[in-house]
Structure 1
Amino acid sequence: MESDATYRGTVYPWQCDHVGHMNIMWYVGKFDEANWNLFARIGLTPTYLRQSGHGMAAVQQNISYKRELLAGDLVEVRSVVLDIGDKSIRFRHEMRNAETGEIAAACEITGVHLDRRTRKSTPFGAQLRRQIQDHVAVPQSLEA
């Protein structure tokens, strides 16, 4: 899968903490926005989720912080799907300083496909699973 940007934005001064760099809550927020863009790209669109009665829930998230981001920095997140199971998907985001290209943080997430009515995990449909499978990649690096 080509790792096109799944998020682009800016670090605002009010997103910075007492040390002067972007607070961890904003890393999580920007990664969350990248999730939804990645999901739409692989078939888990808002329309699919609304009409099917399904949803996605994160069950594990691991973030590695590499370089600080400061107010005014431009941010870009690129994402890849690492694996798909019957009911789950694992993917990775890399957040970079868009000006320097340096990796600021990386996040690996496992998400579960669920039935919103029963609040229980449910298998991906065969067609959706094949569509997602077409996007699975083993990333060497997400560099452009």
Structure 2
Amino acid sequence: MIETYRGFVDPHQEDVLGHMNVTWYTAKFDEASWHLFTSVGLSKDTVKSEKRAVAALEAKTKFMAEVSAGELLYIKSGFLEVSDKTVRFQHIMYKAQDHTEVASVQLLGVHMDLEKRKAIPIPQDLRAKLEALLPQLS
């Protein structure tokens, strides 16, 4: 797992209950995804030049603790599984002050051709980088 996000809860991110709204968890996890995929070479520049990216097919979010304005957060992320055209990965959000786990999300993404709008195999060089970061079973 690598750190992929560091930030805080802005007051405008709270809902009427005084906690960060679900919308913002998703936004922060999305930002973490860009850092995670850039770490294996699938950056904004690669997406633009090669017209390929990973798009979310499925997301399962769990909420463990509430956060409110001013709280500092960080996210750690990692890859869980790689197949021919898909990759499963996760993000875990923590309160920076005491490292309490706040929320997590597991995502399934598909590698796709952005012009044809269809799934394509993950190139071997990218697949090797993804597989190198998979958890090692002992």
**Shorter-normalised TM-score: what interval?**
over 0.9
Aligned to 1:135: 133
Give the stretch that moved more between structures: 122-131 or 110-119: 122-131
2:129 is paired with a residue of what secondary structure? Answer: helix
Instruction: After TM superposition, list the pairs within 5 Å mapping 1:54-93 onto structure 2.
Output: 54-93=52-91
Distance in 2 (CA, whole Å) between partners of 1:70 and 1:53 is 38
Report the equivalent of 1:27.
25
CA distance in 2, matches of 1:127, 1:7: 25
Q: Distance in 2 between matches of 1:24 and 1:138?
A: 32
1:94 corresponds to: 92
Aligned length: 137
CA contact under 8 A between 1:82 and 1:138: conserved in structure 2? no
Match of 1:52 among 44, 50, 53: 50
Shift of 1:49: 1.5
Cα drift, residue 138 of structure 1: 5.6
Q: How many Å separate the matches in 1 of 2:3 and 2:55? A: 22
1: CA distance between counterparts of 2:27 and 2:129?
27
Q: Greater shift after overlay, 46-55 or 130-139?
A: 130-139
Note the residue ranges of structure 1 that are not aligned, 5 or more in a row: 140-144
Give the Cα separation in 2 of the matches to 1:135 and 1:88. Answer: 15
CA RMSD of aligned residues (A): 1.2
Alignment counterpart, residue 8 of structure 2, candidates 7, 10, 15: 10
Percent identity (aligned): 36
CA contact (8 A) 1:42 1:132 kept: yes
Residues in 2 aligned to 1:21 and 1:80: alpha-carbon distance in whole angstroms: 26
Displacement of 1:47 in angstroms is 2.1
> What is the CA-CA distance between 1:72 and the residue it aligns to?
0.2
Q: Return 5+ residue gaps in structure 2 as ranges.
A: none
Secondary structure class of the residue paired with 1:22: coil
Higher mean C-alpha displacement, 128-137 vs 26-35: 128-137
